[in-house]
Every structure is written in C-alpha cells, then in structure tokens.
Amino acid sequence: MEDKKNELLLRCAGVFLRLGVRSVTMDDLAREIGVSKKTLYVYFQDKSDLINQIIDQKLAQDRTVCEIGIEQGENAIDSMFLISKSVVENFSAVSPTVFFDLKKHYPEAWQKMSNHKWDFVFKMFLENIKRGIQEGLYRENMNPEIIARMYVASTDLIMAGEVYPWPEYEYGKVFLETFRFHIRGMASDEGINYLKERIKRETNE
C-alpha cells in the first residue's frame, strides 16, 4: 500500500509541476494520471493533504540527494556541483505558478519548504563552507554564516519570480548562475583553478 501511495505522490507531483497547483482539481489529477478520484481519496483526505504529502516526499528526496552529494564529492566544490546538478534538473521542470500558488493558497506546505531551506539547506551550505576552508579551496577571510544566509536568501529571490520573471529567466539556469557566482566568490586561488577544471569536466560529460 505504501508503494502505491508513493507512486501516486510522484505522478500527482508531476501534474502540479507542469500545470500549477491552484487550477488543478482532484478530478483533473485523476484524469491526468489515469486513476479514479475514489482511489485518490483512499490515500489522501483532500487536495491540501495531498499537496502537503508531496512536499514531504520532495523534501525527503532533496535531503537524500544532498547527503549523497556530500558523501560522494571529492571536495567541497565537487559536492556542491553534484548537489546543484540535481537541483537544476528539478527547478527546470517547475511551472512558474507553482511557488506563487503554494505561498498564497497552501501556507502549511509553503512553511515546510521555508523551514527546510533555513534549517537543512542553510546548515548544509554552512558545513560546506567550513569544509572548503579546511581544504584550502575557499577563502579563510569570510564569515561562513553570512555567506550561507546569503545563499539561501538567493533561492527565495529566484522563486519569487519578480527579479527573474519566467520564461525569460528559466529557474534552472538562474539557479546555476547563482551557484557558480557563490562558489567563485568563496573560492581561493586554488579553488578557482579547481572550479575551472570542474566546469570544463562538467561541460564534457
């Protein structure tokens, strides 16, 4: 039963990401993913419950991706490359109305995302900065907490859609530029040399 529920969450999430949140009804979801509305109500109380569970699943996946990137990265910069690659892929599939709809109409789900950013993502980036400094890839003469807060705040700026309106500025591309800007700003001379090689490697992959 849990496998079926997870499958429904993934498929419903795909519909919301494509079409937005507010405009899609439970009838629309059932039709789009090829199940009866009755089946959806077996697993979810209502649309709000479904959205909250989708957010829970997405955030759990995000934590897993980040933890894998931290573990597999050969250094701080490499870890951030692995993590950002997944984030960019996820951002690129998001409809521009999704974040607006969540913030305005589903505050509980929006708050979960905010808590995730300012707890998990902030701490992850802060630890990455400290790791990079120890490895000699990031500058020692910076305040890790200020930079980590700046990085998380930049994701809010991207999702707001006012400074970077879609489709002129695709979420994935803006995030990638923001990521590279932050890494280059933090990097030491050794880090900049590694960053150039890492970007070259990424381009050829």
Q: Sketch out the chain's domains with CATH numbers.
A: 2-204 (1.10.357.10)
- For the CA atoms of 46, 49, 51, 52, the dihedral, rounded to the nearest 10 degrees, stands at 170
Q: What is the C-alpha separation between 176 and 193, in angstroms, rounded?
A: 19
Using a 10 angstrom Cβ sphere, with 0-12 exposed, 13-18 middle and 19 or more buried, the burial of residue 119 is exposed
Which residues, other chains included, contact 182 with Cβ-Cβ below 8 Å and sequence gap of 6+? 147, 150, 151, 154
Q: What is the pLDDT along the chain (205 residues), one digit of tens a residue?
A: 678 899 999 999 999 988 889 889 999 999 999 999 999 999 999 999 999 999 999 999 999 999 999 999 999 999 998 888 777 777 666 776 888 889 899 999 999 999 999 999 999 999 999 999 999 999 999 999 999 999 999 888 877 777 887 778 777 788 888 888 889 999 999 999 998 888 887 766 5
Which residues, other chains included, contact 48 with Cβ-Cβ below 8 Å and sequence gap of 6+? 106, 108, 109
Q: What is the C-alpha separation between 23 and 13, in angstroms, rounded?
A: 14
State which amino acid sits at residue 33. I
Cβ distance 120 to 151 under 8 Å?
no
